[in-house]
Structure 1
């Protein structure tokens, strides 16, 4: 199996991080990740169910259709990636998202290498979970459909403050929701608020992905694949075809 090579931006200046150059060549989940993310986008754009009813709550590890329509109300498509700087879930999901999107549009200039907080229960306790940070909004095209990717990081590396390392003088959940409300469009923010109790873990909001387009909106919380298993096998392949 051949993979497309792209130059990944370097590490932040002044930080000693391991070299992950070999990461791209050694992970055999690459093709699965590419196809899975593309399938998700196609499903979101194509599936339309007139008898749809949104779920009252969501659980981790499963895609849910939460709206029949486009939350942006302008016919456009978007991916909203909510995480925090030191999140190991965000780190693992970042690779699948990167490979899936980069297979259609070169986004290497929009990411930088990073490691998650090694003290986190889901992280690598020695070096921290290797991952990517998305540096800002960007537009990509998949299967002829143009979409915009909107990353939002709520907390710093150790979840002890803001991304700018300023103190948070309220609960982490309240701060995260206020940041969502001030950053994302009203209907998108309302969806994160609606399921906030379902995407909360140990007093903070967790990594969550929301995809919205002309034919519906989907939300997903937690790992897209399990980093601790051999070969980093893809574990989320049951895409939301049900009503």
Structure 2
């Protein structure tokens, strides 16, 4: 092997090794378990418009977690704008069944806070929010496409959907041993709240229904006060 070929081969090996290291590092980091019911900081980047804080929720019409959490979310958001909603009950065929909750239909901000929500599936987890049937084995990929489209239409940065998808489908929950999307059966995008503002971006992908806890996270992480 002449010198030129040797150098080329060495460079090729270095590139391959570097790629493997980067991939392995990314996989290990993304696979680190996160605690249930707690916001975690996932980025120092502010995804909100200048001078704003965004709260982004992902749920589905029949979600018992979303139904239970809706009361705490309402309790927080009513201080930052006018929130329209209708009374609803979670999927009657899932356990726990018929959890009373609020379906949010609109939010008009009168503060620095903007709220967005995407309901992905219908009440019975067999179709999209608009009634398009979804096979059970396609709930996750179809759900991913739905929230990408919905958040894009809402004018949110693409990173919002990317983070929610990543942390629901790739990052295990410590108490579950697997990502939240795969904890229940059939697998589906379950529930998430992403908050982003001047202090960075935070996410929770499991139940957070205590209003005092939600108030604490909101004030501490976003406004940097208790």
TM-score by length of 1: 0.63
1:133 aligns with 2:74: no
Cα deviation code 1:197-238 (max 9, x no counterpart): 223033111111000112211101222237xxxxxx967788
- The residue aligned with 2:86 is 112
Q: CA deviation at 1:196?
A: 2.8
Task: Describe the shift of the 1:112–1:237 C-alpha distance in structure 2 as closer, same or farther (beyond 3 A).
Answer: closer
Task: Describe the shift of the 1:216–1:235 C-alpha distance in structure 2 as closer, same or farther (beyond 3 A).
Answer: closer
Stretches of structure 2 that go unaligned for 5 or more consecutive residues are 1-28, 152-156, 170-178, 222-226
| Alignment size in residue pairs | 174
**d(CA) in 2 for partners of 1:239, 1:55:** 24
Q: Which of the pair has more CA radius of gyration? A: 2
Stretches of structure 1 that go unaligned for 5 or more consecutive residues are 1-52, 227-232
- The residue aligned with 1:199 is 180
- The residue aligned with 1:100 is 76
TM-score by length of 2: 0.67
Greater CA drift, 132-141 or 90-99: 132-141
**More helix, by proportion:** 2
- The residue aligned with 2:22 is none
1:85 aligns with 2:51: no
Contact 1:173 1:205 in 2 (8 A): yes
Task: Describe the shift of the 1:208–1:98 C-alpha distance in structure 2 as closer, same or farther (beyond 3 A).
Answer: same
- The residue aligned with 2:148 is 181
Cα deviation code 1:112-161 (max 9, x no counterpart): 111111221133xxxx11100011354242xxxx1111110000000010
- The residue aligned with 2:176 is none
Task: Describe the shift of the 1:180–1:159 C-alpha distance in structure 2 as closer, same or farther (beyond 3 A).
Answer: same
